[in-house]
Amino acid sequence: MRRLAPQCLLVLLVPVMLAPTRQQAPTTSPRFAYLDVFIDPRGSALAAYQFELNVDQNAATIVGVEGGEHVAFNAAPYYDPAALTYGRIIIAAFNTGSDLPTAKTRVARLHLRIASSAPEYRVSLETAADASGKKLDQAVISFDEKGNTP
């Protein structure tokens, strides 16, 4: 086995020792939160909906989805579980019953692992319909982040 002369080691180490150190951006500890998604059908009976949520996957990861508060939508909505890891998810649900919400109601709760201080969410209502299948053009979607647990 060949040994390097001490001068060779010095030549190898000096550039590393003199290289500028790169400061890392401050990071926040991961925390868990949930995002409540609401739909206001503005007086019409909400029987079906579909929405899309986008978030930078470096800022937050969707770790779970549960249903809403009204009996018509308290079961977990439909979604592709593989979408949980990509920062984009499409969620949908429908109910053919007669007990349907006509006012603003929470339709889903998304559980999140937050990795940044303030992730930005983009939520868009793709469609909403009444029991006869008529599109509810006046329906409005909104969301609220809660449960900031360190």
Q: Where are the domains of the chain?
A: 26-149
pLDDT digits (tens), the chain, 150 positions: 555 555 554 444 444 444 444 443 445 688 999 999 999 999 999 999 999 999 998 999 999 999 999 999 999 999 998 887 788 999 999 999 999 999 999 999 999 999 987 899 999 999 999 999 999 999 999 999 986 544
pTM of the shown model: 0.78
Q: For 26-149, CATH number?
A: 2.60.40.680
Pairing, β 140-149 against β 48-55? unpaired
